[in-house]
Amino acid sequence: MHLDDNIVRDLEKKANDIRQSIIEMLVEAGSGHTAGPLGMSDIFTALYFYILKHDPKKPDWPDRDRLVLSNGHICPVLYATMAHAGYFPIDELKTLRKFKSRLQGHPHREWLPMLETSSGPLGSGLSQAVGMAIADKMDKVTGRYMYALLSDGELEEGNSWEAIMLAGKEKLHNLIAIVDRNNIQIDGFTEDIMPLEPLRAKWEAFNWHVLEIDGHNFEEIVGAVNQAKAIYEKPSVIIAHTIPGKGVDFMEKHFEWHGIPPGSNDISGAPEKKEQANEALKQLRTLGGKITSEHQ
C-alpha cells in the first residue's frame, strides 16, 4: 500500500514525539520499561492517528474499535500515544507510577476509563479480545474491530494458545492480533529462553491468517491492517518485526533495557547513568544526528 508522503512524514514525526515523551516520563518515574515502548511507538502511532475508529472527545463512543493491550508493561507507549491523541493532557504523563496517579505501571481501566481493559498478567489480553469479538459476533455487530496487542515473550504462556485456538475455531474475522516480535524478554532473547519459531506456521496451524511486516514501516503497518480487514473466514495476526529501544542507538536490540528506565543502571555500551536520558533525548530530537539544531 502507498501512503501519501506527507502522511508518512506526519506519522514519523508524531512517533518521534511519542518516543521523547516515553523517555521523559520514565525518567520522571524512575522506574518502568523502556525497550518495548520505544519499539512499539510506530505501531501505536499508526493505530491512533490513522487506523483506529475512535474519538478522544467521546472515549465511550459505542461504535469505536477496541484496543486491548495484553503486555501491559509497555503502557508508557499507550499512555503517551493517548495523551498526544488528546485523551488527556500531555503534562499528566509526568505522573507515571506516582502515588494516586491514573497512569500506573500497568493499565487500570477503573482509573483511566478510556482504557478498554486492565492488564498485567501476561497471556490474558488475547483472551479478553477474543471474548469481545465473540460478543460482537453473537450480537451481529459489524463495522468495528478488536485489536489485541501482545508481546512475543508472552506467547510462552499457555493461555495465549488457548485463545488462539478458540479464535481460529470461531473464525473471528473481526479480531486482529498484533505481535511485537522484538525477540527479547526480561532475561534475554526469546529464542534462547523459550524458542518461538516457526512462529508463523504455529499461528497458521490454528487457522489464522498471518501477515509479517516491518513494524517501523508505516505503509506496511497500514497495508497489513487493510489486508486483515479483507479476510472474512478467519482471524488475522500481524507479526510486526520491531527493534526494541528503537531510536536510541545504545538501547536498540539490548534486552537489558527491557524493564529499566534511563539513568537507573550502568549497562555495557551505554553512557554513564547520569547522561543516559539526555543522550537518548538528543538522539530522538535529532533523529540520530540526521537533523542538526539549526534545522529543528
Q: Give the domain CATH number at 53.
A: 3.40.50.970
Grid cell in block for residue 26: 520514565
| Angle, in degrees to the nearest 10, between helices 218-229 and 5-29 | 100
At residue 68, the 3 state secondary structure works out as strand
DSSP classification of residue 105: S
Count of structural domains, the chain: 1
Across the chain, which has 296 residues, the per-10-residue mean pLDDT values are 93 98 98 98 98 96 97 97 98 97 94 89 94 98 97 96 98 98 96 97 98 98 98 98 98 96 93 96 88 50
DSSP letters for 106-172 = S--TTTSTTSS----STT-HHHHHHHHHHHHHHTT--S--EEEEEESGGGGSHHHHHHHHHHHHHT-
- What is the spatial distance between Cα 73 and Cα 154, in angstroms, rounded to a whole number? 11
Torsion of CA 112, 118, 122, 128, to 10 degrees: -130
| Phi-psi label, residue 64: left if phi above 0, alpha if psi -120 to 50, beta otherwise | beta
Q: Which domain holds residue 231?
A: 5-295
- What is the spatial distance between Cα 4 and Cα 10, in angstroms, rounded to a whole number? 10
pTM: 0.96
- What is the spatial distance between Cα 43 and Cα 14, in angstroms, rounded to a whole number? 11
pLDDT value for 292: 53
pLDDT value for 43: 98
Burial state string for 247-277 with b = 16 or more CB within 10 A and e = fewer than 16: bbebbebbbbbbbbbbbbeebeebbeeeebb
- What is the spatial distance between Cα 169 and Cα 231, in angstroms, rounded to a whole number? 15
Grid cell in block for residue 106: 500497568
Give the closest residue to 246 by CA, choosing from 42, 80, 17: 42
